[in-house]
């Protein structure tokens, strides 16, 4: 089974800035969120089976994966997979909502997801992130995939066969786990 997890809150999240591939450290709340997710997994991991954590290469997911591993009883080890990296949002990286709305008044009050003029296109993101669950679904391991808001939306959308417009409106909690099963996704709040 694949469990999809978003990194804990970062300074950019707290300050309402879009990150994309710019990195920002976890806040105290983000550290606590990661530990809570790990604590949620601890009894499941203790019950047995093969468990593995795989994270995006960005610092915020690496820190989250390390904290989850420790709290879940998996030591501190995890793997890194480039496919789990956040979507590039080009020139919008580091901007806050008012700055983007000044550039694109038509998006006021709307999701910014996949609207960046020089960001990663939907087709590329869907291909990259759709491969990950397909590759791991048949394996014996339970995979904890630590990724990002945009990347997680794409992965869930591809998994469920959603349209881009439907994917734009998916939530992106930092204190929940999404279990991907064939044709379905179950959310667990931590």
From the CB of residue 181, how many other CB atoms can be counted at a distance below 10 Å?
Answer: 11
Separation between Cα atoms, residue 67 and residue 35, nearest integer Å: 6
Question: What beta strand segments (E) does 37-183 contain?
Answer: 51-55, 79-80, 142-147, 176-181
Separation between Cα atoms, residue 138 and residue 134, nearest integer Å: 8
The residues annotated as belonging to the active site are: 7, 86
Tokens 């995979």 -> residue: 143
DSSP string, 37-65: HHHHHHHHHHT-S-EEEEE-SSHHHHHHH
Is residue 17 within 8 A of residue 94, CB to CB? The reply is yes
CA distances from 64 to 10, 121, 125 (A): 10, 26, 22
| Closest residue by Cα to residue 60 from 12, 108, 15, 17 | 12
């Amino acid at each position: 089974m694949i469990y999809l997890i978003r990194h804990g809150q970062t300074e950019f999240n707290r300050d309402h800035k879009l990150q994309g591939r710019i990195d920002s450290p976890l806040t105290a709340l983000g550290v606590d969120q990661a530990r809570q997710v790990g604590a949620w997994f601890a009894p499941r991991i203790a019950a047995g089976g093969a468990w593995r954590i795989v994270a995006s290469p960005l610092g915020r997911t690496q820190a989250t994966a390390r904290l989850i591993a420790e709290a879940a009883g998996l030591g501190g080890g995890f793997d890194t997979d480039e496919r789990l990296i956040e979507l590039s949002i080009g020139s919008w990286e580091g901007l806050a909502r008012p700055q983007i709305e000044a550039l694109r008044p038509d998006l006021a009050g709307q999701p910014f997801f996949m609207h960046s003029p020089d960001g990663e296109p939907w087709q590329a993101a869907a291909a990259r992130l759709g491969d990950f669950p397909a590759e791991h679904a048949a394996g014996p391991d339970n995979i904890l995939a630590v990724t990002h808001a945009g990347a997680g939306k794409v992965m869930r959308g591809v998994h469920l066969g959603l349209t881009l417009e439907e994917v734009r409106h998916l939530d992106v909690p930092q204190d929940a786990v999404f279990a991907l099963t064939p044709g379905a996704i179950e959310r667990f709040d931590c």
